[in-house]
Amino acid sequence: MIDLLEGLNEEQTEAVTTTEGFVRVIAGAGSGKTKALTHRYAYLVNELGISTANILCATYTNKAAKEMRNRIKTMIGDNDTGYICTFHSMGVYILREDIHYINYPSNFVVMDTEDTEAILKDVYEKANIDTSKLTFDMARKAIEAFKSKFKHIPYLSNLDNSELIEQYEKADTIQKKVIYGYLYEQKKNYGLDFDDLITVSLYILKSCEEKRLKWQERMMYVMVDEFQDVSGLNYEMAELLSGYHKNLFIVGDPDQTIYSWRGADVKFIMEFDNEYDDTKTIKLYKNYRSTPEILSAANSLIKNNKYRIPNDVVATKESSVITAYYHGKTTMDEAKWIADKIKLLVNNGVSYSNVAILYRSHFVSRSIEELFVREKLPYVLYSGIEFYKRKEIKDILSYLRMIVSGDDLSFVRVVNEPRRNIGKKRMEFLKTYAEKMNCTLYEALLDNIDNEPIVSTRAKDFVKVIEKYRIKYKDMRISDLITGVLHDSGYEAMLRTLGDDERLENISELKNSIFEFEKNSGEISTLEDYLQSIALYTNSDKEEKKEAVKLMTIHIAKGLEFPYVFVIGLNEGIFPTAHADTEEDIEEERRLAYVAYTRAENALFLTDSEGTNYDGSYRYPSRFIFNTAKEYLEFEVELDEALVRSAHTFIACNEEKMGIRNSNVLSKGDRVSHKVFGQGEIVDIQTENSVYIVQFDKLDTPRNLSFRAPLEKL
């Protein structure tokens, strides 16, 4: 026992030795929660004599589970560590023993993302479904929603497929067709996807008292790591498995809840003590990672959140440098300042690999990548694809290359983007013709534009765009050219139809790169020059090196730490994202900023720059810069007073609009009364505009009224 408790602080010791009942540990950033968890597990085994077969330690990722198992093996001297796993893995354990309850074999297939995508492709092909009407992402979300309510279980457990086939055949929407088609295909293979591992195991535990009691008696101690990230179904599983012995130990930090978009709900950790009256709460607040200066900035930021459990972390490291903030006039100014700082650090003996650049969205990396390639600074991109290798960027550059040269590579890439009914067979026809006539594929298309099999396609739309700009591109600004091509080709409209905001943001950033190219090149800039300059970035040697700056999104960086951290792109509309349109959303974005700040060990650098976002809005400095107490920031450039006033006005208007949206208390179909218009019915609600659409009894046409309108519900 002395060995296990040695090196723990008072709060960690309390967490380790409090073994019975409901225990909630609020573990601040860098406070040694993993140490507390692993020591508690070893304490249960070595000091209390609990078998590893009777302890569940649920972690959030397979990587975290593996690391925890390795640590615990060393402490308990036993390779058998029982159930140290993710919730999905726990679901597999339950199902391998008890899936026969739904008439599935124990050797069922666990389908990965490639398997599920293959099934979707098959379903779409058989039902002749156009992905422009229902994207794979939309289909996956529909299937997930269907399964979250356990609606799929009867179809999977029924030995007869006739009902499933009947539902598929009579489906009156594309969505239903996909759902039932997907279920049929997965059942045919006795497959379960990741969602099923949770939902099916939960269904068995809830439906069969005998099996539920078996697993409850087995799990004498249930421990859950990263509890701020659990979903409703994860929470239900933890609650069920601990229902007999009532020993549930949870660890997490509500200030680091950043995954609501994939089901996490901060209320589960926030209100845990309300769910269990005898909960004991322990706070780990001593930070072993960051300097006092970094933590002061982070604490001052997160205090702006209303819905939280106060737990300001305190540094145990010595003081260092104050957090630096830089505001650039352009994204390249911002990138140049970052590069210069990194060079200075390296000149002072810091390794490139000790530096991380974190951002909210993938597109923000563009200016950094460009400058690093130009100045030969080594970097590794850990999240997403390098900017100029992203599909939409390569597509648009291929359109520009078609206008200049009409090469075959560009043609193949974009002739059917958006879809113009030029599939494999027609492409083979064009290739055969081009080889025979010794011409390009585009020339082959022109020669056969009115002939079969091309005449029945929308190839003329493609030709119209290319020929229109071939005639006049040399007399146009490149920025005007790309705007015209995006519009006339239908490419931008396609992305908007799909609701693919991330790709739209990347397109907007490509436009910004063109603006910068034009500004730096002056009137002599040509499309040929621009495409040649881009080749520098697309063909750069990117072999991964150990000595390289790390570039990644903040979500990827969660759980990691770096000696020197740059948090970049701190602009309204980027961070916080423009999609954050409620107070709850903004609080999550602020938690994400807090996570970014607290990744830094020795020094933290914050940056932003001016410009425009993809929706046309101006890039003001983020409210998170203003939320961070100025006494904890060293301004490398003093912000212009007019800019500060404009930024505060923009943020205030934005927050006021959120307040209006949050005041929406009426629903579609409600009967209401207005002091002038009289009685009527709400026929629709536009939350994006904070508007009720009301059809009043005495008026022929509906009226759009703001959420502030004097409406009384009847």
Active site residues: 33-34, 225-226, 256, 599
The CA distance from 488 to 472, in Å, is 15
Instruction: Give the CA distances from residue 483 to residues 124, 477, 512, 610, in Å, rounded to whole numbers and listed in that order.
Output: 33, 10, 12, 21
Round to whole Å and give the CA distance between 141 and 554. 24
3-state secondary structure of 177: helix
563 SS3 class: strand
- Say how far apart CA 333 and CA 661 lie, in whole Å: 37
The span from the CA of 219 to the CA of 595, in Å, is: 33
DSSP state of 36: H
Residue with tokens 């992203």: 390
Give the full edge-to-edge strand order of the sheet including 379-381. Answer: 379-381, 549-553, 355-359, 562-567, 600-609, 323-328, 633-635
Q: Is 102 helix (H, G, I), strand (E, B) or coil?
A: helix
| Distance, CA of 616 to CA of 597 (rounded, Å) | 28
Cα distance between residue 211 and residue 227, in whole Å: 26
Structure tokens at 465: 């765009």
CA dihedral 407, 412, 416, 420 (to 10 degrees): 80
Residue burial 377-386, b: 16+ Cβ < 10 Å; e: rest: bebbbebbeb
Distance (Å, rounded) from C-alpha 41 to C-alpha 84?
Answer: 10
Per the CB < 8 A criterion, the answer to whether 501 and 261 are in contact is no
Q: What order do you get walking across the sheet with 703-706 strand by strand?
A: 703-706, 691-696, 678-686, 671-674, 711-713
Name the token pair of 203: 């269904």
Residue tagged 């859950």 (tokens): 224
Look at residue 594 and give its three-state secondary structure.
Answer: helix
Contact between 556 and 594 under an 8 Å Cβ cutoff? The reply is: no
Distance CA 180, CA 152 (A): 9
Among all chains, which residue has been given the structure tokens 């529909």?
142
| Angstrom distance (rounded) from CA 46 to CA 76 | 7
- With beta carbons less than 8 A apart as the criterion, state whether 389 and 538 touch: yes
Say how far apart CA 132 and CA 403 lie, in whole Å: 26
The answer to whether residues 238 and 12 touch, using CB atoms and an 8 Å cutoff, is no
DSSP for 348-408 reads: TT--GGGEEEEESSGGGHHHHHHHHHHTT--EEE-SS--GGGSHHHHHHHHHHHHHHT--H
CA–CA separation, 348 and 492 (whole Å): 46
Q: How many CB atoms lie within 10 A of CB 425?
A: 8
- Read off the amino acid at residue 155: Y
Short-list 113, 92, 114, 115, CA closest to 200: 92
Beta strands in 410-485 (DSSP E): none
